[in-house]
Amino acid sequence: MFKHSADIKPVLIILLFSLADFAAYFYIETLWLFVIYWLLMMIPKGIISAWNHHHQHSHVFKQNWLNRLLEFFYALHTGVTTNLWVLHHNLGHHRNFLDQSKDESRWQREDGSAMGIFEYTLIVALTAYPRGYQVGKRYPKLQKQFVVYGLMTLLIMAGLTLYNPLAALFIFILPMICSLLYTSWATYGHHTGLSTEDQFSGSHNITDKWFNTLTGNLGFHTAHHFKQGVHWSKLPELHESIKHKIPDECLRKSFFDVFARIKERRSH
């Protein structure tokens, strides 16, 4: 069933969050409890975005129908439907991240200056679906799946909203929007300020153990771009094999250390 045994634990945890969502949808009735639930789940659902990202690089299950089903639950948590990251991220950003005139997650303005974090967050979030669709024009089969499963998710969400509008708003709709914004915000630190043609100098890396435990080793970002098809569980090993090629300025201890370095670079 699972392609990699390392996926079993995170997928089960994520599906438990889905179970909690539907329990809350059917049993919570008061506004203040909906608000509390929404706020408590914001950070976990943001973290789930990293695992959705990994899944769309390397599918969790051997059976396609199970992958499609998992992607539906991922969409309810993250606001990212089937094949969006495959098109926008895998076939777009990964091929273009060293060319800011093409990058689907570009951090440079047209004049070459670096965007601020809020500007970047809004632009990347608001353009995610249109840019993904544009990339899909070169991959009709993937684009068709993106549209079909996206519409199916939209129809199911419409049904959930009609049945219980207040619950749907706080348990699904707001979290989907917030998670997409959070994902865009978090990716600001991946490449901003690193204008280069060298793939080993084009990504910030975070070596913190807890960050990589929660995000599935997403901190080893140069390794991820070097071989994007490598399963997340193998990234630490790949990182060690190429670490000698990565400049010291691209190696950071923490998530906030990266943001501080970007801020310092922009101030100069």
Token duo for residue 166: 């207040």
Q: Which of 152, 174, 192 is the last residue of a domain?
A: 192
Strand partners of residue 205:
251
Mean pLDDT by 10 residues, the chain (268 residues): 97 98 97 97 95 97 98 98 97 96 96 94 98 98 98 98 98 97 94 92 94 96 97 98 95 82 73
Q: Are residues 186 and 214 in the same domain?
A: no
Structure tokens, 188: 């600001």
Looking at the structure, tell me whether residues 230 and 137 fall in a common domain. Answer: no
Which of these, 213, 212, 186, 195, lies nearest to 250 by C-alpha position?
195
Q: Which tokens hold the place of 125?
A: 């979030």
Residues 72 and 127 both lie in one domain: yes
Same-domain status, 161 and 234: no
Predicted confidence at residue 25, as pLDDT, reads 98
Q: How far apart are CA 54 and CA 177, in angstroms?
A: 20
Q: What is the pLDDT of residue 258?
A: 81
d(CA 1, CA 41): 29
- Least Cα distance to 23 among 164, 158, 149 occurs for 164
Amino acid letter, 212: N
**What is the CA angle 238-90-209, rounded to 5?**
40
pLDDT at residue number 268: 64
> Do 99 and 34 belong to one domain?
yes
- Whether 46 and 82 map to the same domain: the answer is yes
Q: How confident is the model at residue 196, as a pLDDT? A: 86
Query: 169, 192, 215: which is the final residue of a domain?
Result: 192
Contact 194, 202 (CB under 8 A): yes
Contact 51, 14 (CB under 8 A): yes
Sequence-distant (6+) residues with CB within 8 A of 39 are: none
Report pLDDT for 218.
96
Coil, strand or helix at 42: helix
Are 208 and 153 in contact by the 8 Å Cβ rule? The answer is no
Full residue range of the structural domain in which residue 27 is found: 5-192
pLDDT of residue 267: 66
Q: Within this chain, do residues 223 and 105 fall inside the same structural domain, yes or no?
A: no
Rounded Cα–Cα distance for residues 243 and 194 (Å): 17
Is 116 found in the same domain as 46? yes
Q: How many domains does the chain have?
A: 2
Q: Which of 165, 192, 219 is the last residue of a domain?
A: 192
Residue 103 shares a structural domain with residue 182: yes
Query: Domain check: are 36 and 90 in the same one?
Result: yes
Task: Please report where in the chains the tokens 């969400």 appear, as a residue.
Answer: 157
DSSP 171: I
Please provide the size of the chain in residues.
Answer: 268
Task: Find the Cα–Cα–Cα–Cα dihedral 254, 255, 256, 259, rounded to 10°.
Answer: 120
Is there a single domain that holds both residue 147 and residue 217?
no
For residues 147 and 225, membership in a common domain is answered with no
